[in-house]
Amino acid sequence: DAGVIQSPRHEVTEMGQEVTLRCKPISGHDYLFWYRQTMMRGLELLIYFNNNVPIDDSGMPEDRFSAKMPNASFSTLKIQPSEPRDSAVYFCASRHRALGDTQYFGPGTRLTVL
Protein backbone atom coordinates (compact mmCIF):
# COMPACT_ATOMS: atom_id res chain seq x y z
CA ASP A 1 0.00 0.00 0.00
CA ALA A 2 1.30 3.45 -0.90
CA GLY A 3 0.11 5.11 2.28
CA VAL A 4 -1.42 8.56 2.47
CA ILE A 5 -0.08 10.79 -0.28
CA GLN A 6 0.11 14.56 0.02
CA SER A 7 1.14 17.17 -2.48
CA PRO A 8 2.98 19.40 -2.72
CA ARG A 9 5.52 18.59 0.00
CA HIS A 10 6.61 22.20 0.20
CA GLU A 11 4.78 25.35 -0.84
CA VAL A 12 6.05 28.90 -0.66
CA THR A 13 3.64 31.65 -1.59
CA GLU A 14 3.02 35.30 -1.04
CA MET A 15 0.39 36.79 1.19
CA GLY A 16 -2.95 37.09 -0.54
CA GLN A 17 -2.43 34.19 -2.91
CA GLU A 18 -4.64 31.13 -3.04
CA VAL A 19 -3.10 27.89 -1.81
CA THR A 20 -4.44 24.39 -2.49
CA LEU A 21 -3.15 21.36 -0.65
CA ARG A 22 -3.99 17.87 -1.88
CA CYS A 23 -4.41 14.51 -0.24
CA LYS A 24 -4.99 10.97 -1.43
CA PRO A 25 -6.04 8.67 1.43
CA ILE A 26 -5.26 5.01 1.71
CA SER A 27 -7.53 3.06 -0.59
CA GLY A 28 -10.64 1.79 1.17
CA HIS A 29 -10.37 4.12 4.15
CA ASP A 30 -13.63 5.86 5.00
CA TYR A 31 -12.39 8.70 7.20
CA LEU A 32 -10.11 11.54 6.19
CA PHE A 33 -8.64 14.19 8.50
CA TRP A 34 -6.83 17.46 7.96
CA TYR A 35 -4.46 18.70 10.69
CA ARG A 36 -2.26 21.74 11.10
CA GLN A 37 0.95 21.67 13.11
CA THR A 38 2.79 24.72 14.43
CA MET A 39 5.33 25.22 17.18
CA MET A 40 3.00 27.49 19.09
CA ARG A 41 -0.25 25.50 18.89
CA GLY A 42 0.93 21.96 18.33
CA LEU A 43 -1.23 19.60 16.28
CA GLU A 44 -4.74 20.87 15.57
CA LEU A 45 -7.56 18.99 13.89
CA LEU A 46 -9.10 21.23 11.25
CA ILE A 47 -11.80 19.06 9.71
CA TYR A 48 -12.69 15.45 9.10
CA PHE A 49 -14.81 13.59 6.56
CA ASN A 50 -16.65 10.30 6.71
CA ASN A 51 -17.54 8.72 3.39
CA ASN A 52 -16.68 12.01 1.66
CA VAL A 53 -19.07 14.02 3.84
CA PRO A 54 -17.68 16.70 6.19
CA ILE A 55 -18.61 15.73 9.74
CA ASP A 56 -16.86 18.27 11.94
CA ASP A 57 -15.25 21.46 10.67
CA SER A 58 -15.16 23.25 14.01
CA GLY A 59 -11.38 23.38 13.88
CA MET A 60 -11.24 25.36 10.66
CA PRO A 61 -9.79 28.67 11.78
CA GLU A 62 -11.83 31.02 9.62
CA ASP A 63 -13.70 31.40 6.36
CA ARG A 64 -10.48 31.69 4.41
CA PHE A 65 -10.09 27.94 4.87
CA SER A 66 -12.21 25.43 2.98
CA ALA A 67 -11.96 21.70 2.41
CA LYS A 68 -13.59 19.37 -0.07
CA MET A 69 -13.67 15.68 -0.73
CA PRO A 70 -15.24 15.12 -4.16
CA ASN A 71 -14.60 11.39 -4.06
CA ALA A 72 -13.19 8.67 -1.84
CA SER A 73 -9.67 9.02 -3.19
CA PHE A 74 -9.09 12.76 -3.15
CA SER A 75 -9.40 15.76 -0.86
CA THR A 76 -8.26 19.36 -0.98
CA LEU A 77 -7.66 22.03 1.62
CA LYS A 78 -7.78 25.53 0.22
CA ILE A 79 -6.69 28.80 1.81
CA GLN A 80 -7.86 31.96 0.09
CA PRO A 81 -6.42 34.49 0.65
CA SER A 82 -3.37 33.18 2.47
CA GLU A 83 -1.70 35.06 5.32
CA PRO A 84 1.72 34.70 6.97
CA ARG A 85 0.11 33.24 10.10
CA ASP A 86 -1.08 30.30 8.00
CA SER A 87 2.52 29.11 7.73
CA ALA A 88 2.58 25.61 9.18
CA VAL A 89 2.85 21.96 8.29
CA TYR A 90 -0.47 20.54 7.14
CA PHE A 91 -1.08 16.83 7.55
CA CYS A 92 -3.70 14.61 6.04
CA ALA A 93 -4.60 11.32 7.71
CA SER A 94 -7.01 8.50 6.94
CA ARG A 95 -8.68 5.75 8.87
CA HIS A 96 -10.81 2.67 8.20
CA ARG A 97 -13.45 2.46 10.91
CA ALA A 98 -13.85 -1.30 10.59
CA LEU A 99 -10.14 -1.76 11.23
CA GLY A 100 -10.09 0.28 14.42
CA ASP A 101 -9.22 3.77 15.54
CA THR A 102 -5.71 4.10 14.14
CA GLN A 103 -5.10 7.06 11.88
CA TYR A 104 -2.43 6.87 9.18
CA PHE A 105 -0.66 10.12 8.43
CA GLY A 106 0.77 11.48 5.24
CA PRO A 107 4.21 13.14 5.14
CA GLY A 108 2.73 16.63 5.35
CA THR A 109 2.90 19.82 3.32
CA ARG A 110 5.12 22.56 4.69
CA LEU A 111 3.47 25.86 3.81
CA THR A 112 5.32 29.16 4.02
CA VAL A 113 3.39 32.36 3.37
CA LEU A 114 5.64 35.37 2.90
Positions touching another protein (CB under 8 A) are 4, 33, 42-43, 45, 48, 50, 55-56, 91, 93, 100-108
Shortest CB 1 distance to another protein, Å: 14
Secondary structure E strands in the chain: 5-7, 10-13, 19-24, 31-38, 42-50, 53-56, 65-71, 74-79, 88-95, 104-105, 109-113
Q: Which lies closer to another protein via its Cβ, residue 70 or residue 100?
A: 100
Q: Which lies closer to another protein via its Cβ, residue 9 or residue 85?
A: 9
Residue 79 and residue 62 in contact, taking contact as beta carbons nearer than 8 Å: no
Q: Nearest-CA neighbor of 111 among 9, 4, 5?
A: 9
Shortest CB 15 distance to another protein, Å: 25
Shortest CB 50 distance to another protein, Å: 5
Q: Which lies closer to another protein via its Cβ, residue 64 or residue 76?
A: 76
